[in-house]
A and B are shown apart, each in its own frame.
Chain A
Amino acid sequence: MVPDVSTPTTGEAAAAPRPAEPRSALRALASARGTSVIGALLVSVLAASFLVEGFASGRNAGFVVLDIAAIALIALPMTLVIITGEIDLSVASTLGLTSAVMGQLWVAGLPLETIVPFCLVLGAVLGAVNGLLVTVAGLPSLAVTIGTMALYRGLAYVILGDRAVADFPLSWTGGATSRIPGTPIPWVAVLILVLALVFGVLLHSTAFGRSLYAIGSNDEAARFSGISVGRTKLWLFVATGAVAALAGVFWTLQYGSARADNAAGLELSVVAAVLLGGVSIFGGVGALPGVLGGVLLLGTIRNALQLADVSSDTLSIVTGLLLVVSVVAPNAVARMRARRPGPGAPRSRRPGGPDVPRPFSSRTER
């Protein structure tokens, strides 16, 4: 009846499948992936400049930045979370709930100078709820954040229903989309850059950042080497929540409307951008420049296609294909390399052949 699949839980079995050598090759590949994304970005910008009317203008560059601002902001902490081997799918709902609270407090007559800090704290609290459930209760982050995704979005609807609050003062809404004087670049680009620097330095030049890779590679080993895994993950979730709330405040002012369904589905775009930037969904691999490249690549391609009057349906095909190809390509390369028999190389089956198996074997061995 039940197959006996009890394995010893010692580390030997778990460590066996991956010899150390391909692992470093994978590392190198991943960083190459980050570079190749930036390469793809440059190529697509150049191509779009020559081929698409009106793409290569400063004004348009400003539009691209405004378009991807929320995704870029949330992708920064999300990168750190995914590097530790966790994921947060509740970010878009955090954004929506922040937006709803902002609208409700504005209707209640509070000044925005009070509302905005409150919303950021709220975001941090929402992130902390995720983090506590993952670290203290020991639940899988994928399941937890699917749950809080529904919970936070639901609370947003409870607070604001299907109403929209759109009477924010022009000085604030205009300020959100205003450009740096004398340039076509919106101020939000500065915000993104500052945060990118903060998270980039944190990830790539501090012991804390190195510990994230250790956790993502093997959190048991990280724990034994003295890294406080739980506390680290908790703070990452808090940071993700706070940044998602910041994106929510910006989103609300940018579009001048607080709604419960703001940014529905954005979590998928954020995850897509991060994975496109060469971060491994299994954790332990990835870099922030690649992620920024991934976000910009998505934004550039979408913008260029829109300008070229390509319908929006093709956009989602392109987004999806980009994502699949960006993950399949390095894997295929790695497997081609693994096929060359070398010492300790894992014996792999015939790779990628279109061997279509019969989905069901109708034999029942009783």
Chain B
Amino acid sequence: MSAPTTEAPLQEHGGGDVRSSRRLRQVRELGILLALVLLIAATTAVNPGFLSSQSIDDLLLGATLLTILAVGQTLVVITRSVDLSVGSVLGLSAFAVGTLFVSFPGLPVPVVALAGVLLGAVCGAVNGALVATARVPALVVTLGTLYVFRGIDYWWASGTQINAADMPASFLGLGRTSVLGVPVPALIALGVVVAAGWYLRSYRSGRELYAIGSEPHAARLSGIPVDRRIFGAFVVNGALAGLAGVLYAARFGTLDATVGSGLELEVVAAAVVGGVAIFGGSGTVYGAALGAVLLTTIGSALPVLRVNAFWQEAVVGLLILVAIGMDRLLAVRAARRLRGGESRGA
């Protein structure tokens, strides 16, 4: 799989020179990592208890759901789509898991977990079919399915609530078991990140997702099955949202129809902070995962830093703006370098 090294023509919108864009991405991810390290260092300096093993576990567990969702969202956003329905899918899947345990107390845990993931995949398939076959903008479709899935969730729950007591201890223990000192959900999230990163990097269909996002029309002309790829990205994203729902049920145990409300924007925010361009064609799942961890860490660091917890959301907003501003700066500078410093004719 060697890329044909052609003379890259001048590009207005980033892209173009592969090597420089890869370097940009590495700079980008290093930047987030640096911010994360600085944040943790500063917080630990103020309060040494911040890095005790207990709170590392909390951090990892807290970041788990957001990381998994951000990875799925990245696959979709790379293809120049977006999926706003993930919060609703997570809620639906979590409630389905709880309901299965209540209705069939004898079911083995893996079967129920698989059912939750499959339900998410079905929701993703609905989104993907609408976006890919009906060629409707993803923003609109997934805004619609956000309401529809949430409505189904409400209708199904009809005001009831499922409690931890209704679920088997082995399932609820998932969040508290550790392998080599790392909680199992965090290991699952790590597996998801590595698998998705490997797929995007090394598989032809993974590379094609980037091609679709950079220039859908060119991708179509070069023979890439655009609709099928976009559909696939939505299905995988739905399945991952379903997985997140299963993990949510295992961790929190208390389930009602409001689980995961409003989560979608936090997920998009994590991906954007992680350097995934909102108009597709660039970004990595590692960046998105780092973005998710950073957002979660901010949430738990603020109280330790004695900052009013109400600042959290404002800081997240600022972070998003800084992130996209930096991307823009880097892109402009890269474009200028590619043009050999000549100014654009007005």
Interface residues of B (CB under 8 A from A): 1-4, 6, 8-12, 15-16, 18, 82, 125, 129-130, 133-137, 139-141, 143-155, 158, 201-205, 207-208, 210-211, 214-215, 217-219, 222, 225, 227-228, 231-232, 235-236, 257, 262, 265, 268-269, 272, 278-279, 308, 310-318, 320-321, 324-325, 328
Q: Are B147 and A323 in touch, CB under 8 angstroms?
A: yes
Q: When chains A and B are docked, how far (Å) is the Cα of A194 from the Cα of B257?
A: 40
Say whether A154 contacts B316, CB under 8 Å. Answer: yes
Query: B207 and A327: CB pair below 8 A?
Result: no
CA distance A314 to B153 in the complex (A): 10
Contact yes or no, B317 A147, CB < 8 A: yes
Does A50 make an interface contact (CB < 8 A)? no
In the complex, chain A residues whose CB is within 8 Å of the CB of B130 = 324, 328
What residues on A are CB-neighbors of B15 within 8 Å? Answer: 5-6
| Residues of chain B lying within 8 A (CB to CB) of residue A356 | 125
Q: Does A312 contact B (CB under 8 A)?
A: yes
Which residues of A pack against B, CB within 8 Å? Answer: 1-9, 13-14, 16-17, 133, 137-140, 142-144, 146-155, 157-158, 161, 260, 264-265, 268, 271-272, 275, 281-282, 311-324, 327-328, 331-332, 335, 349, 351-357, 359-361, 363-366
Question: Do B136 and A331 touch (CB < 8 A)?
Answer: yes
**By the criterion CB–CB under 8 Å, are B141 and A324 in contact?**
yes
Output the nearest chain B residue to A269 by Cβ-Cβ distance.
Answer: B147
Chain B residue numbers with a CB within 8 Å of A148 are 317, 321
Residue of B nearest to A315 (CB): B151
Q: Most A CB atoms within 10 A — which of B203, B262, B313?
A: B313
Bound-complex Cα distance A154 to B205 (A): 40
Q: Are B314 and A158 in touch, CB under 8 angstroms?
A: yes
- How far is B210's CA from A9's CA once the two chains are assembled, in angstroms? 18
A272 to chain B, nearest CB (A): 6
Partner of B151, one of A139, A147, A314, A361: A314
Complex: chain A residue closest to B129, CB-CB: A354
Give the residue of B8, B218, B317 whose beta carbon is less than 8 angstroms from that of A152: B317
Chain A residues, Cβ within 8 Å of B268 = 146
Residues of B within 8 A of A2 (CB): 3, 18, 207, 210
List of B residues within 8 angstroms of A155 by Cβ: 314
A268 CB contacts on chain B under 8 angstroms: 143, 146-147
Residues in chain A near residue B153, CB distance under 8 A: 313
B139 close to A151 (CB less than 8 A): no
Chain B residues contacting A8 (CB-CB under 8 Å) are: 9
Interface SS majority for chain B: helix
Q: What are the 10 tightest A-B residue pairs by CB atom distance, in nearest-first order?
A: A154-B314, A151-B317, A313-B154, A320-B147, A154-B313, A317-B151, A150-B317, A147-B320, A320-B148, A324-B144
Question: Is B2's CB under 8 angstroms from A1's CB?
Answer: yes
Residues on A with C-beta less than 8 A from B143 are: 268, 271-272, 275, 320, 323
Contact B314 A316 (CB under 8 A): no
Q: Is the CB of B205 within 8 A of A361?
A: yes
Rounded to whole angstroms, the CA-CA distance of A40 and B321 in the bound complex is: 40
Q: A137-B328, A143-B320, A357-B231 are in contact. Are A6 and B11 (CB under 8 A)?
A: yes
Give Cα distance in the complex from A133 to B320, angstroms. Answer: 12
Query: Could you tell me the distance between the alpha carbons of A3 and B222 in the complex, rounded to whole angstroms?
Result: 10
Number of A-B contacts (CB under 8 A): 225
Whether the pair B204, A151 counts as a contact (CB closer than 8 A) is no
A151 touches B203 (CB 8 A): no
Contact partners of A7 in chain B: CB under 8 A: 215, 218
In the complex, which residue of chain B has the Cβ closest to the Cβ of A265?
B262
Query: Which chain B residue lies CB-closest to A328?
Result: B134
Q: Are A357 and B148 in contact (CB under 8 A)?
A: no
22 contacts between A and B (CB under 8 A): A2-B207, A133-B321, A133-B325, A138-B328, A143-B272, A146-B272, A149-B317, A150-B316, A151-B313, A151-B317, A154-B313, A154-B317, A260-B310, A314-B155, A316-B151, A316-B154, A320-B148, A320-B149, A324-B145, A327-B136, A357-B231, A364-B202
In the complex, are the beta carbons of B4 and A154 less than 8 A apart?
Answer: no
Kindly provide the distance from the CB of A363 to the nearest chain B CB, expressed in whole angstroms. 7
CA distance A7 to B215 in the complex (A): 8
Asked whether A154 lies within 8 Å of B154 as measured between CB atoms, the reply is no
B151 and A357 within 8 A (CB): no
A149 touches B265 (CB 8 A): yes
Q: Is the beta-carbon distance between B321 and A281 smaller than 8 angstroms?
A: no
Contact A147 B324 (CB under 8 A): yes
Smallest CB gap from B207: residue in A:
A3
Least Cβ distance of B152 to chain A in Å?
Answer: 7
**With A268-B143, A331-B134 as given contacts, are A311 and B155 in contact (CB-CB < 8 Å)?**
yes
Point out the residues of chain A lying under 8 angstroms from B310, CB to CB: 154, 157-158, 161, 260
Decide: B227 and A365 in contact? CB cutoff 8 A: no
Q: How far is the CB of A346 from chain B (nearest CB, A)?
A: 11
A3 to B312, Cβ gap below 8 A? no
Partner of A352, one of B18, B133, B208, B324: B133
List chain A residues, Cβ under 8 A from B201: 1
Q: A9-B10, A139-B328, A147-B317 are in contact. List 4 more A-B contacts (CB 8 A).
A: A5-B218, A13-B218, A17-B217, A351-B133
A365 to B208 Cα, complex, angstroms: 12
Residue of A nearest to B22 (CB): A2
Q: How far is the CA of A321 from the CA of B155 in the complex (A)?
A: 15
A152 to B315, CA, bound (A): 10
Nearest chain A residue, comparing its CB with the CB of B148: A320
Which of the residues A264, A317, A353 comes within 8 Å of B133, measured between beta carbons? A353
A16 in contact with B217 given A158-B314, A320-B145 (CB within 8 Å): yes
Partner of A327, one of B1, B140, B150: B140
A313-B257, A324-B130, A324-B145 known; A142 and B137 CB under 8 Å?
A: no
Give the CA-CA distance A161 to B208 in the complex, in Å: 47
A237 to B165, CA, bound (A): 50
Asked if B133 and A154 sit within 8 Å, CB to CB, the answer is no
Chain B residues near A5: list those with CB within 8 A. Answer: 15, 210-211, 214-215, 218-219, 222
A275–B143 Cα gap in the complex (Å)? 11
- Among candidates B3, B262, B316, residue contacting A3 with C-beta atoms closer than 8 Å: B3
